[in-house]
């Protein structure tokens, strides 16, 4: 095995630690030391050793600062923080040994392969936020959060390294020497000014890390460090959406909020940020292939066979009539061909999805994910916010007037025979203009929104779609194993489990509990409504927090802002409670069904719980109606 030429420091350090550690190669250098890959002799394991160069140990306070880094980091024990094995001092050498991570830094990942996908960026930022939340809970501020200090393990784990300038809370932003410590491109305004810093300073740095991970660029760059620091203090960061339009709106908003100049305008803490990112990850999790295929193809009456069927029926209908010498038979052939055949196709596709382990409740989740993805792609292609353009509004206006004029002309033609030619010409032209403009507006709408997916989504999630799945369930070959539940909201997973348990009950018992499927479905819908409302309220609270005016000279504005926050918070708490009630009712039904299967429950007890569940559903429905009335009034 060949080795690169070693420098004098490498040789001297190896001589000092011989028998304890065996150095292999240098991994990197930074302002706080040199990092080597080594093997710990006693345990025969790879380690990374960080050494403070002896040439710097004479600098006032630097040796103590380096030892403080090691002691601080060694106290932290978290899955997303690199563990410190030992802190040692041998003569002129001060060093610590930490776990060696096989992988790459976030900087290397972005520089070599470009910006991260939104889902991957969300996961990395969430894991770093978890690590920082833990450290802050231990009274430690990192103070140097940057991509070089974020390691991506080959197995997928994200680890935070180098608490090299971390200080116990109650320390100041500057060292006792007055030196401001950190990396200018990732430094918060308060840290750049040498002011006292807290956990919100790390959030600002994490926001820049997210900006870099999603776009491959930095919000503030300049030739000199002092110029970068000046920008950190005085200039607002360009919105992430301007440089990375494909980043989902909520992720971009979370990163932009971290970059607020005022610490009070940033998220409440890394734990709150991690929760937002986890929620975004749950929403955007990749759908299983069976659901993706259903949403994109099987849910729709497309395909060459289905599209050719109307032409086949046009030929088959007269043939059937001639063979039977009956117009009625031909007519019935035509009607059944245009209704029963498509119906059979859709039922068979629903049966296929059921056999894959998915139920009707999964359809709404799948269509929502597909529509959200399509909306982002279309908004990027249009190059604007996704709203209707002035030309689309003009086409709608012309289409409405033209079609309306044509209908009025048609009514006049039927009542006044005079001027028939003129009226027919007017009717033809206005109808042509109206329909043509309407088609143009529809085409432009399709560019902004996936109208086809929205239509089929409403079709399948409605009553008729539920009925199709009910019919398809009778033709499933066997009880399919439930598919992975990771992509389903809790209420849908519970509802599907309850329906499967109900279907395996004896027929007589099912007859006694015949109201159960409707109650379960209603609770599912109610929980989904509450979850959607909760998302809206969380987003509204985030927006109000961003636009807040702390310290405003106008007391009336401040009081109004506080009142809005209080009202939104109160409604959010109520919605959270209603969501919990709906999920708890579903859980109770599922548990009682399990007891019924095990022979320890009774139909009577389950009937009582169904009555209580209906009360919960009625209460939620009343609240939803209240929301609707308030919105209409506003």
Catalytic machinery residues: 144
Separation CA 207–CA 209 (nearest Å): 5
Segment (H or E) for 299: none
Q: Please give the backbone phi and psi of residue 97, each rounded to the nearest 5 degrees, phi first.
A: -105, 130
Rg value, the chain, Cα: 33
Cα distance between the two ends of the chain = 76
For residue 552, the tally of other CB atoms under 10 A from its CB is: 12
Whether the CB-CB separation of 358 and 483 falls below 8 Å is answered with: yes
Separation CA 100–CA 38 (nearest Å): 9
State how far Cα 466 lies from the chain centre.
27
Q: Please give the backbone phi and psi of residue 51, each rounded to the nearest 5 degrees, phi first.
A: -115, 135
Q: Which residues make beta-bridge pairs with 94?
A: 52, 89
State how far Cα 614 lies from the chain centre.
32
Q: Which residues make beta-bridge pairs with 159?
A: 151
For residue 335, the tally of other CB atoms under 10 A from its CB is: 12
If you count them, how many residues does the chain have?
634
Query: Shortest CA distance to 287 belongs to which of 365, 185, 222?
Result: 365
Cα 63 to Cα 68, 88, 199, 304: the distances in Å are 9, 12, 25, 75
Whether the CB-CB separation of 41 and 19 falls below 8 Å is answered with: yes
């Amino acid at each position: 095995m060949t080795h690169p030429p070693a420098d004098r420091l490498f040789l001297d350090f190896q001589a000092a630690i011989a028998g304890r550690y065996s150095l292999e190669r240098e991994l990197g250098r930074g302002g706080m030391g040199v990092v080597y890959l080594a093997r710990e002799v006693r345990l025969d394991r790879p380690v990374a050793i960080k050494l403070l160069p002896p040439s710097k140990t004479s600098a006032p306070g630097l040796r103590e600062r380096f030892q403080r880094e090691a002691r601080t980091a060694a106290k932290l024990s978290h899955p997303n923080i690199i563990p410190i094995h030992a802190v040692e001092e041998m003569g002129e050498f001060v060093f610590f040994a930490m776990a060696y991570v096989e992988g790459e830094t976030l900087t290397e990942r972005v520089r070599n392969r470009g910006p991260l996908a939104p889902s991957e960026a969300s996961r990395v930022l969430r894991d770093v936020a978890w690590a920082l939340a833990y450290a802050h809970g231990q009274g430690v501020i990192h103070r140097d959060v940057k991509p070089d200090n974020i390691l991506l393990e080959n197995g997928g784990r994200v680890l935070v390294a180098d608490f090299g300038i971390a200080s116990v809370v109650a320390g100041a932003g500057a060292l006792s020497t007055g030196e401001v410590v950190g990396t200018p491109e990732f430094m918060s305004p308060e840290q750049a000014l040498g002011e006292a810093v807290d956990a919100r300073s790390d959030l600002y740095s994490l926001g820049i890390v997210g900006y870099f991970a999603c776009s491959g660029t930095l919000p503030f760059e300049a030739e000199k460090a002092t110029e970068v620091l000046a920008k950190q203090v005085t200039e607002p960061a360009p919105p992430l959406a301007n440089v990375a339009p494909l980043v989902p709106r909520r992720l971009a908003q979370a990163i932009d909020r971290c970059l607020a100049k005022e610490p009070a305008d940033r998220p409440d803490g890394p734990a709150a940020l991690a929760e937002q990112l986890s929620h975004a990850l749950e929403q955007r999790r990749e759908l299983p292939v069976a659901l993706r295929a259903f949403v994109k193809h099987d849910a729709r009456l497309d395909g060459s066979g289905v599209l050719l069927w109307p032409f086949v029926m046009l030929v088959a209908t007269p043939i059937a009539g001639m063979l039977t010498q009956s117009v009625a038979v031909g007519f019935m052939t035509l009607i059944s061909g245009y209704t029963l055949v498509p119906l059979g196709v859709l039922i068979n596709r629903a049966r296929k999805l059921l056999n894959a382990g998915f139920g009707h409740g999964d359809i709404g989740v799948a269509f929502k994910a597909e529509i959200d993805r399509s909306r982002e792609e279309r908004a990027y292609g249009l190059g604007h916010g996704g709203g209707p353009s002035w030309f689309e509004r003009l086409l709608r206006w012309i289409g409405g007037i033209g079609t309306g004029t044509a209908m009025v002309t048609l009514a006049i033609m039927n009542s006044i025979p005079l001027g028939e030619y003129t009226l027919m010409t007017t009717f033809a032209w206005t109808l042509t203009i109206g329909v043509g403009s309407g088609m143009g507006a529809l085409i432009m709408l399709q560019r902004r929104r996936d109208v086809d997916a929205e239509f089929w989504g409403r079709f399948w999630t409605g009553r008729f779609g539920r009925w199709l799945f009910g019919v398809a369930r009778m033709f499933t070959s066997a009880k399919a194993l439930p598919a992975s539940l990771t992509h389903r909201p809790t209420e849908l997973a519970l509802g599907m489990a309850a329906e499967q348990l109900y279907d395996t009950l004896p027929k007589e018992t099912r007859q006694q509990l015949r109201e159960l499927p409707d109650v379960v479905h209603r609770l599912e819908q109610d929980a989904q409504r509450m979850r959607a409302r909760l998302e809206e309220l969380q987003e509204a609270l985030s927006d109000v927090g961003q636009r807040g005016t702390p310290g405003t000279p106008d007391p009336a504005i401040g009081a109004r802002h506080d009142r809005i926050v209080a009202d939104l918070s109160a409604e959010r708490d109520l919605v959270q409670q209603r969501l919990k009630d709906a999920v708890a009712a579903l859980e109770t039904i599922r548990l009682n069904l399990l007891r019924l299967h095990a022979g320890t429950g009774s139909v009577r007890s389950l009937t009582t719980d169904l009555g209580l569940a209906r009360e919960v559903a009625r209460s939620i429905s009343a609240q939803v109606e209240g929301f609707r009335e308030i919105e209409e009034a506003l």
